Chain A
C-alpha cells in the first residue's frame, strides 16, 4: 500500500523496517531517543525498539561515530546520526581515516557497514555553522558512499539499501525537505508501506526534456523542477537529472542526457569551488565535450560562509528564479 509521507517520516519508517528485519541494526546519535531526532527522522523508534537499540549519545561525535566503526567491525550494522553535517569537523578523523579506510587498509579483510546519517542545508537563517551542505568533502574521500535523496520515496528506498550495504554510507538529509512545522518548504510524497531497495549509484531523471540538462541533487531538485515549469512557458524544455548519490556517480545517465540536450547546467547548494559542480563539469568535459552546443554552466553557493541575515542568505542560495535565469543565459550562449 502506498501512502503520502513526509521526507522525515520516510526515513523513520526505513529505519524501523531495517531494525525489524535485522537485529544487528541499531541507531545512535544525539537526541534520537525520546525526542525522536531534532528533524523528526527518528520518531517512534525509541518506543518501538527501546534504549538498547536507539541510543542517546553524549555530545561526543568523535567517540560515537568512531564507536559505530568499531561496532561494525565487530559484526553489527550501526546507523549513526551526526545532527548537523557542519559538526563533522570534531569527528572527521574517525570518519575519513578510520571508517572510510579500514576496508582498504585491511586488504579487504574487514567490512564497515555503517550508515552515517546527517542533516544539511540552509534557507532558514541558521547562519554559518548550521547551514552547510558539505557533501563534496565526503565524496572527495575514497571509501565512503555518498547518498543525497530528494524525495520521500527515494529516501526510504535508498536508506534501506544503505543499511544492507557492506560499505560505510553517508546519507545526507536536507532539513528543508523534512516537512517539519518550524522549517520552511518540506516535501510529502507517495511511499509504499512495504520494503523496497533502490540501487545506490543510479541517478533518476526527475523530468524529461530536450533543450537543456540540469544536473542536481537533494533540495535543488525541487528548485530545478520549479524552474523547469517557468522555462516551459518560455518554450524551453529542461531535463532534470537527480543524482541521488555522488558516490558512486552515475556518469552514464549524466552523459546520455547531455548528449541528448547538448547543454548542461549544474545546480549545487554546496560551495562552488572544488566541489560537486566542478566534478560533474570535468566529467562532461572529458567525455562529451564535442556534443555541447554551449559552455557548461554552474550555479552553486558563492565561496563565502553562509551569512545569517535573510537578504544575504537569500542572495547566496540558489533558487528557482536563479536557475531559470542561468538556463536562459545558457540557451543564448554558444
Chain B
C-alpha cells in the first residue's frame, strides 16, 4: 500500500474508531431513552465510508442513507452537533428538526441522510450535474444499500448520469439485508456491480471490510469522475453487524451468523492486523488514538446532554426561507 502514508493511516484508523464508538454510544443512549425515534447503526461498515471519503475534498458532495452517521462523521462533520441533533437538541446540525435520519452538514458537502430508501440517487446526480455545469471539478458520491438498488431512482439516475457523463460515484454498501430481507431473495443479480453494464459504466466489487481495498477502488473512480470520465458503480461487500434498527428482534438470522462475521471479518480488526503485520502502526499508537476518540465521544455526549431543547414555537421556522 505505497499510496497510503502514515499520516493517512492514522486518520483512517481514527475515523473508523470514531464511527464505531459513536455508534456504540448512540445504541446506549437510544436504549436509555435519550434518543427518540429510530437509530440505524453503521457498525461493521466503517471501512466503506472511510475508504471512500479519504479520496474526497471537503467541497465534494455526498448523499447518505438512513444509516448515515458513519458517512456524516467521515465527511468531516463534528461530533458535538451530531450528537445534539440525534438527541433532538437545539444545538444540533438541524436544530432538532431532523434527527438521526435527516442529519446533514452542508458546510462539508454532506447533503443529507435520508429516511426514504433510494432518496439520494437523484440528489447526488443533481449535485454532479451542477459541478459539471459549473466546470468545478467537484465530484459527488451517493452511498446506498443493496435494498435501494431495486428502487426506480437507482436505474433512472445511473442511466442519466451515464448519458450525461456526470462526475458521480455510486457506492453500494451491500450489507446482505434489505431491512430484514436477505438481499438475494429479492434481487436479480449476485453482484449489484453487475448492473453497471446496463448503463455502460464501470462496475467494480470491493471488499467493504477492507479499508485499503475500498480506498483503492474509490480512488480510481474519483479520478475518473474528476477527469470527465463519468460515473462508476462500486459495490462494497460488507455485513450489517447490528439489526436494521436498534431494537430489531432479528428473527430472520441467527446469532451465530452475526458472530461469525464479527469475529472473523471486522473491518477495524482487519485494519489492525494488516498495519501491525506490515509494521506501519504500533499497538501503542492505536491505543493512543482510541483514548483520544473516547474523550471526543465523551465530550460530544456531554454537549448533547447539556444543550437545551428547541422551543416548541420554533416549529414554524425554516419551512420557507
Q: Which of A127-148 contact B (CB under 8 A)?
A: 127-130
Whether B102 and A308, one on each chain, are in contact in the complex, defined by CB atoms closer than 8 angstroms, is: yes
Chain B residues whose C-beta falls within 8 Å of the C-beta of A310 in the assembled complex? 36, 88, 309
Chain A residues whose C-beta falls within 8 Å of the C-beta of B310 in the assembled complex? 307, 309, 311-312
Chain B residues whose C-beta falls within 8 Å of the C-beta of A36 in the assembled complex? 251
Chain A residues whose C-beta falls within 8 Å of the C-beta of B97 in the assembled complex? 127-128, 305, 307-309, 312
Q: Which of A53-85 contact B (CB under 8 A)?
A: 56-60, 62-63
Q: How far is the CA of A309 from the CA of B97 in the complex (A)?
A: 6
Chain A residues whose C-beta falls within 8 Å of the C-beta of B270 in the assembled complex? none
Q: Which of B149-196 contact A (CB under 8 A)?
A: 150-153, 178-181, 185-187
Chain B residues whose C-beta falls within 8 Å of the C-beta of A290 in the assembled complex? none
Measured CB to CB, the residues of A under 8 A from B are 30-31, 33-36, 38, 56-60, 62-63, 86-87, 89-90, 124-130, 182, 302-305, 307-312, 314-316
Chain B 101-129 interface 0/1 with A at a Cβ cutoff of 8 Å (1 = within)? 11000000000001111100000000000
Given contacts A56-B186, A59-B147, A316-B315, A129 and B101 within 8 Å (CB-CB): yes
Chain B residues whose C-beta falls within 8 Å of the C-beta of A311 in the assembled complex? 88, 309-312
CB distance from B145 to the nearest CB of A (A): 9
Chain B residues whose C-beta falls within 8 Å of the C-beta of A129 in the assembled complex? 101-102, 114-116
Closest B residue, CB atoms, query A55: B186
Given contacts A31-B181, A125-B36, A310-B309, A130 and B101 within 8 Å (CB-CB): yes
Chain A residues whose C-beta falls within 8 Å of the C-beta of B319 in the assembled complex? 303-305
Choice from A33, A35, A308, A316 contacting B36 with Cβ under 8 Å: A308
Q: Which of B75-110 contact A (CB under 8 A)?
A: 88-90, 94, 96-99, 101-102
With an 8 A cutoff between CB atoms, is B53 at the interface?
no
CB distance from A42 to the nearest CB of B (A): 12
Give the interface size bracket for B toward A: 35 or more
Given contacts A34-B251, A129-B101, A312 and B312 within 8 Å (CB-CB): yes
Whether A125 and B152, one on each chain, are in contact in the complex, defined by CB atoms closer than 8 angstroms, is: no
Whether B147 and A127, one on each chain, are in contact in the complex, defined by CB atoms closer than 8 angstroms, is: no
Q: How far is the CA of A177 from the CA of B165 in the complex (A)?
A: 49
Measured CB to CB, the residues of B under 8 A from A are 36-38, 88-90, 94, 96-99, 101-102, 114-118, 147-148, 150-153, 178-181, 185-187, 247, 251-252, 309-316, 319
CB distance from B160 to the nearest CB of A (A): 17
Chain B residues whose C-beta falls within 8 Å of the C-beta of A58 in the assembled complex? 147, 150, 178, 186-187
Whether B38 and A126, one on each chain, are in contact in the complex, defined by CB atoms closer than 8 angstroms, is: yes
Chain B residues whose C-beta falls within 8 Å of the C-beta of A316 in the assembled complex? 315
Additional A-B contact list (8), CB under 8 Å, known A182-B247, A302-B315: A30-B181, A34-B180, A35-B252, A57-B186, A59-B178, A128-B102, A129-B102, A304-B319
Whether B251 and A59, one on each chain, are in contact in the complex, defined by CB atoms closer than 8 angstroms, is: no
Whether A125 and B99, one on each chain, are in contact in the complex, defined by CB atoms closer than 8 angstroms, is: yes
Chain A residues whose C-beta falls within 8 Å of the C-beta of B98 in the assembled complex? 127-128, 308
